[in-house]
Amino acid sequence: MLALPAIAHGFWYSYEGKRLSYTILDEATKTCQVTSGQSVSGDLIIPNAVIYGKDEYKVTEINNGAFSYCDELQSIVIPNSVERIGNDAFRFCENLRTVTLSKSLKHIGNEAFRRCNSLKAFFLPSSVTSLGYGPFDDCHSLETIEVDDKNSNFVSIDGVLFDKNLETLIQFPAGKTSIKYSIPAQVNKIGGFAFFGCKNLLSVEIPDAVSNIDNAAFYECTGITSIKIPDHVTYVGVNAFWGCSNLKTVESKALIPPVCGAVTFDKSTYGEGVLYVSPDAIAAYEVADEWKNFAKIAIDSDLVSNFEILTNKNTKIDVVDGAIVVNGAESVRIYNTSGAQVYAGESGRIELPSGIYLVVTDSVTKKVHI
């Protein structure tokens, strides 16, 4: 073992031929963190404790970004002394194949193992109590995330990571070969980066209980062509569906447009896709942030085919001599059974080809047959 002097509580220490940089965290408790190991290669074992000067320091943390972009690192054993792995700690370690975690580990930071493309499986010990967002996102080969049965905070179902109560879906492994996935019915939140880079998925069924689709939840899920957003959803996060270049059909069931973060959908979805909404909500979506960016907003065809007449004594909608006649409305919009708008204008006599239409005014919505 070799310890070299350093400046201001930072020092280098070699263990089994691997030289890492450390920083003292607390002199009183004699604890330190791994600060940098970006030059290491092959297999790495981090020691429980290191020597600096005449003192021994217990290694309790791996600092933010400590091993990020360490392309030659292939395996790592993290000692039981370590309680925290920082944000981006192993980000873009693309040849990292195996990780053995500390049995005392409590926290794994944001995107700590992002794009570790050689990882196929990951195991969370019972000690882990908190995770940052997207800790394993964009790991293209990762097929399963398993959790110790004794962990009281997290659980794995078929290799997918959830909180213990199944309220939040935390991470769907990007390398999982499933092409269809139904989120469990009790889940009410899809976590940030949860499906990041899941290119194998062609469809995802979101349950009615979901109210929050967090930031970048479906980022670059290029296989998904359509998505149904349940009526309980109140928030869709920043870049939630960005990079979903083949997403061309979006159905939002909420009458009040969910609040959206910036650039919620990909530019191809806004430009080439169709947003289907309730006839009672279309006006609200046309002015709501992000939703208004859709080039085409149409009535949900299911709602058209099953729609019941709503009545209002001041507005009348009738079919007279083969034409639609509307009286008492300030504005009128008419949609065909495909959800396309075929008329927008004032009340009066409106002549259209024979067919079934949905007539929407400021106070009445009615299905008519010419």
Q: What is the mean pLDDT of the chain?
A: 92
Q: What value does the mean pLDDT take over residues 113-125?
A: 97
Return d(Cα 23, Cα 65) in angstroms, integer: 14
Q: What percent of the chain has pLDDT over 90?
A: 80
Q: What value does the mean pLDDT take over residues 319-323?
A: 93
Return d(Cα 231, Cα 280) in angstroms, integer: 13
Q: What is the pLDDT of residue 367?
A: 83
User: What are the boundaries of each domain within the chain?
Assistant: 306-369
Stretch among 5-19, 152-166, 322-336, 355-369 having the lowest mean pLDDT: 5-19
Distance of CA 16 to the CA centre of its chain: 40
Q: What is the pLDDT of residue 313?
A: 57
Q: What value does the mean pLDDT take over residues 304-330?
A: 75
- Is pLDDT at 308 greater than 70 in this prediction? no
- Is pLDDT at 304 greater than 80 in this prediction? no
Beta bridge pairs of residue 26: 31
Can you list the positions of beta strands (E) in 164-230? 168-171, 180-182, 189-190, 203-205, 212-213, 226-229
The single residue listed with the structure tokens 């997918």 is 160
The CA dihedral of 143, 145, 149, 155, to the nearest 10 degrees, is: -110
Q: What is the pLDDT of residue 363?
A: 76
Structure tokens at 262: 């910036």
> How close are the terminal C-alpha atoms of the chain, in Å?
89
- Is pLDDT at 278 greater than 70 in this prediction? yes
Q: What value does the mean pLDDT take over residues 341-347?
A: 90
AA letter at 304: V
pTM metric for this prediction: 0.81
- Is pLDDT at 43 greater than 90 in this prediction? yes
Burial 210-228 (b: 16+ CB within 10 A, else e): bbbbbbbbbbbbbbbebbe
Q: What is the pLDDT of residue 312?
A: 52
A 10 A CB-CB count for 77 gives 14
Return d(Cα 275, Cα 296) in angstroms, integer: 6
Q: What is the pLDDT of residue 330?
A: 86
Q: What is the pLDDT of residue 306?
A: 45
The single residue listed with the structure tokens 């963190």 is 33
| Selection from 289, 348, 286, 280 nearest residue 310 by Cα | 280
Q: What value does the mean pLDDT take over residues 245-274?
A: 96
Return d(Cα 241, Cα 254) in angstroms, integer: 18
pLDDT per position as a tens digit, 102-118: 999 999 999 999 999 99
- Is pLDDT at 154 greater than 90 in this prediction? yes
Return the higher-pLDDT residue of 361 and 308. 361
Return d(Cα 84, Cα 134) in angstroms, integer: 16
Residues 57, 24: contact at Cβ < 8 Å? yes
Q: What is the pLDDT of residue 329?
A: 87
Return d(Cα 76, Cα 115) in angstroms, integer: 16
Residues 221, 244: contact at Cβ < 8 Å? yes
Stretch among 20-29, 78-87, 321-330 having the lowest mean pLDDT: 321-330
Q: What is the pLDDT of residue 360?
A: 85
